[in-house]
Amino acid sequence: MELLNKREKTVLELVMEHYILSADPIGSGIISKTMKYKLSSATIRNIMGDLEALDFLYKPHSVAGRIPTPKAFRYYVNSLPPRGIPGKKDLKTFESLMKPRYTHVEEVMEDASKILAAMSSCTSIVVEPKVDTMLFQEVEFVKLSRHTILMVFVTSSGTVHKRLVEIDEDLGLDVLIEMKEYMNRSFSGIPFYALKNALLQDLKKDRETFTMLYEKIKNTLDIIIGEEEKREVYIEGTSKMIGVPEFSDIEKLKELFKALENKEKLLKLFDRCLRQEEGVNVVIGNESDVKEMRNISIIMSAYQISEKSWGILGVIGPMRMNYSKIMPLVDYTARTMTGILRIM
């Protein structure tokens, strides 16, 4: 990306700050009034023309003033100082919205989503971790009939995954209880992705009596781990986008709602971005490669339940978001969630 000289950087930053607040095209007169060192409106117009030639600004045909391009937003975000914590007022609001204690991971995710939406005035999203990275805590086998078993898998964070399984043989309750106790004793604390192989290797050694159940358990784990689209996603604040100037066009608003409804695309985008970069990640407009998101930005970060188990949270809104406020908020929320979940 082009390096800008001091005057160009100053003018672009002021254009960005005014546009983020007003959503209106910014003219040279506004910039002239707010600059620390004085330049004439004519000089500022020339600088803005240079920025337009470099594709940082564009001028709508029907109005005076210029609007930042996605390239300008990317330059602006990359130029922001290192993220600290939210301001004192935001921290006070954040703490007031948190519960003093949590007993279920779902409560933490729900509250994080509500807090992000309330404090950012945008749409928030919190995604639970992938099942294969979660740690196995316990299993329960419930015999519903001679040939039907309910398998209940519980992760270390308390999330529950249930599946009905049909079996050919009528297994006694004693076999199911013994298998449950054996799995809970031997495998509690290992990731789900390693559970199948660990179970198979141990069965080969000295658990021949359980072999009849292994295939059913393995198939059930394959289904649970493979159901990527069934990860729990908490979305709050979609109504906050109604009335935002960028979405006054009903078609653009429909596009946003369509993007939020397409959970599979959202999950793939979030996973891809967080594999590429740690910490807070910002996706602006077409960087998402998702057509319906070309007019929006996403600020996201990962939170952790364990060393290798992480979920995703973020804020979705117009490209004209208050990045300097929302980026520290997203980062702080992710770190707070991690702290809560790691001790639950």
Query: Is residue 1 situated within a structural domain?
Result: no
| Residue 44 placed within a domain | yes
Is the distance from CB of 263 to CB of 233 less than 8 angstroms?
A: yes
Task: Please tell me the distance from the alpha carbon of residue 201 to that of residue 206, in angstroms, as a whole number.
Answer: 9
pTM for this predicted structure: 0.82
Q: What does the pLDDT look like over 311-333, one tens digit per residue? A: 899 999 999 999 999 999 999 99
- In this predicted model, what pLDDT tens digit does every residue of 179-206 receive, in sequence order? 899 889 989 988 888 887 888 777 665 5
Of the residues 188, 205, 229, the one at which a domain ends: 229
Considering only CA atoms, which of 290, 307, 260 is closest in space to residue 122?
260
If asked whether residues 204 and 303 sit together in one domain, one would say: no
Do 163 and 261 lie in one domain? The reply is no
pLDDT in tens, 232-286: 889 999 888 888 888 888 888 888 888 888 777 888 888 877 665 578 999 999 8
**Beta-strand runs (E) in the chain:** 57-58, 67-68, 123-127, 136-145, 148-155, 160-166, 233-236, 281-284, 296-306, 309-318
163 has which bridge partners?
151
Measured CA to CA, the distance from residue 107 to residue 189 in angstroms comes to 22
Does residue 162 sit in the same domain as residue 296? no
Task: Give the structural domain span for 58.
Answer: 6-79
What number is the average pLDDT over the span 134-147?
Answer: 90
Calculate mean pLDDT across residues 170-175. Answer: 84
Q: What is the mean pLDDT of the chain?
A: 86
Q: What is the pLDDT of residue 161?
A: 87
Q: How far apart are CA 103 and CA 344, in angstroms?
A: 7
